[in-house]
Amino acid sequence: MKIVFATHNQHKLKEVKTLLPSEIQLLSLDDIGCFDEIPETGKTLEENAKIKADHIISVYGFDCFSDDTGLLVNALNGAPGVYSARYAGEQKNEKDNMTKLLSELKGNTNRAAHFKTVIHLNLKNKSYSFEGIVEGHITEKEFGPGGFGYDPIFKPEGYNKTFGELSAETKNAISHRGLAIQKLVAFFKNRAL
């Protein structure tokens, strides 16, 4: 079975490929020749995930799923949220985003935050949604070379290391995206591919 994951992000693609059953051939936007700038105009992660998936099925005709992920920081009233990728500007620079976030939290003792991923799946003319949330807190500086995005400054609850320090296997098992993908995988397995 072929399905498109509506992303150009090779980190995300690699992460998801390791989790899906071997019966599923995962294609990226690059693989289908989609270089459209899909506007993420939704006010929620759910809306943005749906916008991307709906665009692929309507323009390219492929069954697909898309995700939208946000880091929601309690002390910042849920920011950066839907603007997580472009928090420090449209250049979407991970280092700039982390620097801005750490600057805004400087001196703040409330560093509680959570990552949330929403997956929207369009499959055989039906839509499905899956969600994963991981609680944690923002560290005062970066730790670890692994992961991407805000991983080096996010320490998940129950762990003494950031996502940037944890192994890919551990991160995939407990992360917001990992949890949402596990629900997607369970859905596919229940359909007896």
What is the DSSP track for 33-89? T---------SSHHHHHHHHHHHHHHHH---EEEEEEEEEEGGGTT-BGGGGGGTT-
pLDDT at residue 150, as a whole number: 96
Percent of the chain topping pLDDT 90: 72
CB crowding 12-39: b at 16 or more within 10 Å, else e: bbebbeeebeeebebbbbeebebeeebe
Of 11, 39, 133, 129, nearest to 78 by C-alpha is 133
Percent of the chain topping pLDDT 70: 99
Give the model's confidence band at 177: pLDDT under 50 very low, under 70 low, under 90 confident, else very high: confident
pLDDT at residue 50, as a whole number: 96
| Pairing state between β 126-138 and 2-5 | unpaired
Give the model's confidence band at 30: pLDDT under 50 very low, under 70 low, under 90 confident, else very high: very high
Spot the catalytic one: 30, 63, 68, 96: 68
Please state the pTM of the whole predicted model: 0.88
CATH of the domain at 114: 3.90.950.10
Per-residue pLDDT of 111-150, as tens digits, reads 999 999 999 999 999 999 999 999 999 999 999 998 889 9
pLDDT at 24 over 90: no
Give the model's confidence band at 27: pLDDT under 50 very low, under 70 low, under 90 confident, else very high: very high
pLDDT at residue 193, as a whole number: 53
Centre a 10 Å sphere on the Cβ of residue 40 and count the other Cβ atoms it contains.
Answer: 17
Per-residue pLDDT of 143-175, as tens digits, reads 999 888 999 999 999 999 999 999 988 998 899
Q: Which domain holds residue 171?
A: 2-190
Average pLDDT over every residue of 43-52: 95
**Active site annotation includes 68:** yes
d(CA 16, CA 172): 9
What is the pLDDT of the chain when averaged over all its residues? Answer: 92
Task: Work out how many domains the chain is built from and give that number.
Answer: 1
